[in-house]
Structure 1
Amino acid sequence: MKKIGAIAAASLFLLAACGSSSDVSQSNTEGEKSEASVSGSILVAGSSAMQPLVAAAAEEFEAENKDASVSVQAGGSGQGLLSVSNGQSDIGNSDVFAEEKDEIDAGALVNHPIAVVGMGPAAHPEVGIENLSKQQLIDIFTGKVTNWSEVGGADVDVTIVNRPDSSGTRDTFVNYALDGATPVEGITEESSNAVRQIISETAGAIGYLAFSYYDGSVTPLQVDDVEQTDENVTSGKYPIWAYMHSYTKGEPEGLTKDFIDYMLADTVQQEIIPELGYIPVADMKVKRDAEGNQSDI
C-alpha cells in the first residue's frame, strides 16, 4: 500500500489533555514551542468493509505518534457494535447505524461518521455478463435463477457467496440491492477478503463487496445499467452504499479521541479515504437516515 504523505509538523501532535491514555509533554525552554504527544493503546474492532481504511489510518497515526498503538480487528459490524457496547473495544466500526441492531443500546453510543462506501454484486470474471437488473439480482440471490444462462450468461451454475448475519455489508446489500429479500444459503465467509478470493476462484460465483475490495480479480456487475462508481454513489444514482461509522461508548477521551480526531482530519479525509476507494462524507449530494430514507443534501 502506498504511504500517505505526512501532514505538517504543526498537526502531527494532538493536544489531548482528556484521559489517562494521552500524555502531554512540554518544553521548559523559554520561547520554545510546546509540543504534545499521545501514547497508550486502543483496540478498534468491527466492519471488514471499513478495515482497510482504519488499518491505513492507524499505520499513519502510529508513525506520527511513536508511543501510541492502535490495534485493528475485523469481525463484522454487529461484532464491532457489540464489542464497544460491552467495553471490549474502544471503538466499534460499523457500516450500519447502531439503531438497526435490536440487541444494541444505540443511546449509549456516540456515532462518528468517517466515510461512505459503495458496495455491489461481484462475480467470477467468466460468468458471461456485466449487468443485471435488480429483479435478476434478487432472483439469483433468492435461488430462482440457478444457472447464468437464464440471465444471458454462460452455461454455468450459480454459486452464492454470503457474509454472515452479523455483517454490515450483508445488511446493506440485502436492504438496498435485494429490497429486503433473504439470500439462499451458499458459501458463507467471515471477511470480505475471503469473499473476494472465493469468487475469484469459483466458476459461477457471485457475492457482494465494498468498492474498496475491487482489485481486478472479480467483476463488479452493473445494476440496472448503473456502474459501481463513486460518482454514481455521491449523486444518488447508485443506491447500494453505506456510511462508515466509528462508534464510541459515550464521548471519546484520551487516545480514543485522538484517533477519532485523526480520522476526521485532512490526512485521512482528503488523502487516505480517496486513495483506498472510499468516499469522503463531504462529497455526498444525498444523505440517508437510520430508517433507510435517502434525500438530497
Structure 2
Amino acid sequence: MKKVIALVAALTLSMGMFAGCGSSEPASSASSSAAASSEAVSSEAASSEASSSEAAAAVSGVVNTDGSTSMESVVKALAEAFMAENPDVTVNYSGTGSGTGIESATAGTCDIGLSSRALKEDETAAGAVSNVVALDGVAVIVNPANTVEDLTVEQIAQIFKGEITNWSQLGGADLEIAVYGREAGSGTRGAFEEIVGVEDACKLTNEYSSTGDVIGNVASNENAIGYASLSAVGDTVKAVKVGGIECSEATIKDGTYAIQRPFVMVTKDGAALSDAAQAFLDFAMSPDAAEIIAAAGAVSANA
C-alpha cells in the first residue's frame, strides 16, 4: 500500500512539473515574437524617417538670380551658405540692375529677380511679387579727404539738383562738387532720388552702371559725392552722417537713418519655382539667414 501511495505521489509530482514547463515555453515564445515585431516596426519607422530626411535634403539644380548690383554682397553670401548645405545646387548671380531683374523675373528668363527698391504698381500689375529679404541704407559717400562730416537731407537734395555747387558752401574746402550717381533703371538711384526728393531733377557730373564704379570714382576724386548701398561701402570712401545720424546696421534697424530701402527677391505671381529656387528663397527669407545678411552689411527683414 505504501508503495502504491508513493508511486501515485511521484506521478502527480511529475505531471505538475511537466505542466509547469509546458506553460513556461509558450510565454517565452510570445514574448520573443512581440519583441521581434516591435523591433521590426521601429526599424521600419526609422527607415521611413531616414528616407523622408534624405528626400528633403536631396535638392539639386541651378538657380539663376538677376538684377540689383547693390544686392551683390548679400546674394553671394546667401548663395555661398546655401550651396554649402546643398552641394548639388548652383546659385548664379548676374548684376544687371533692378529694373532688368524685375523684368527678367516676370518674363521667366531668371528664377529670382533682385530689386534694391520697392516694386512699383505697374510692376506688380505685370505679375511681379515682392519678397523682402533685407533692409539697406543708401550711404551718401565722399572722398576720405573731404572734411565735411554731416549733411541734412535738404542739403543733399540741393547738391544733387545743382543748387549747391561748392564744398565751401557746406563748410568744406573751396572745391567745385563733382556729383556722381547711378544710371537710369538702377534700384539704388530710384530709392535715393525718391527718398531725397530729387526725382527727375538730378544734375549729375557722371553716372555709372554699377555701385562699384560709383565708389571707385568717389574714392579717386577729392571733390566727389555719390551714393551707394551700405553693404558695398568699404574704407576707400567715407559715409557722411545724414541729419546727425550715421548710416549703420543699428540705425537702419531702428529706422532713424533717413535714406534706406528694401532688398527684394522678385518672383512671378502664379509661376511655381523649381525645388532648388524655392529652397533658396525660403532659406534667404528665414531667420537662419539673419547673421549672413548682417555680415554682408544689411539688416535681415525676417529675423
TM-score bracket, shorter-length normalisation: 0.7 to 0.9
- Alignment-derived partner of residue 50 in structure 2: 33
- Alignment-derived partner of residue 297 in structure 2: 277
Which one has the largest radius of gyration? Answer: 2
Q: In the alignment, is residue 157 of structure 1 matched against residue 176 of structure 2? A: yes
- Alignment-derived partner of residue 130 in structure 1: 149
For the residues of structure 2 that align with 1:239 and 1:133, how far apart are their CA atoms?
10
Using a 3 Å threshold, how does the CA distance of structure 1 residues 150 and 247 change in structure 2: closer, same or farther?
same
Q: By how many angstroms is 1:141 displaced?
A: 0.8
Deviations 1:109-142 (CA, angstroms, capped at 9, x unpaired) = 2221111111121011122211112222111111
Q: In the alignment, is residue 228 of structure 1 matched against residue 247 of structure 2? A: yes
Q: Which ranges of structure 1 fall in alignment gaps of 5 or more residues?
A: 1-26, 284-297
For the residues of structure 2 that align with 1:124 and 1:178, how far apart are their CA atoms?
24
For the residues of structure 1 that align with 2:216 and 2:45, how far apart are their CA atoms?
55
The aligned length equals 254
Q: Identity of counterpart residues, as a percentage?
A: 31
Deviating above 6 A after TM superposition, structure 1's stretches of 4 or more consecutive aligned residues are none
- Alignment-derived partner of residue 8 in structure 1: none
For the residues of structure 2 that align with 1:164 and 1:240, how far apart are their CA atoms?
19
Partner secondary structure for residue 69 of structure 2:
coil
- Alignment-derived partner of residue 173 in structure 1: 192
Compare the two structures and name the one with the higher helix fraction.
Answer: 2
For the residues of structure 2 that align with 1:181 and 1:99, how far apart are their CA atoms?
16
Using a 3 Å threshold, how does the CA distance of structure 1 residues 113 and 122 change in structure 2: closer, same or farther?
same
Partner secondary structure for residue 150 of structure 1:
helix
TM (norm. structure 2) is: 0.78
Deviations 1:186-215 (CA, angstroms, capped at 9, x unpaired) = 211111111111110112111001111121
Using a 3 Å threshold, how does the CA distance of structure 1 residues 128 and 194 change in structure 2: closer, same or farther?
same
Partner secondary structure for residue 59 of structure 1:
helix
Partner secondary structure for residue 276 of structure 2:
helix
Partner secondary structure for residue 104 of structure 2:
helix
- Alignment-derived partner of residue 19 in structure 2: none
- Alignment-derived partner of residue 11 in structure 1: none
Using a 3 Å threshold, how does the CA distance of structure 1 residues 30 and 131 change in structure 2: closer, same or farther?
closer
* Cα contact 2:286–2:302 (8 A) shared by 1: no
TM (norm. structure 1) is: 0.79
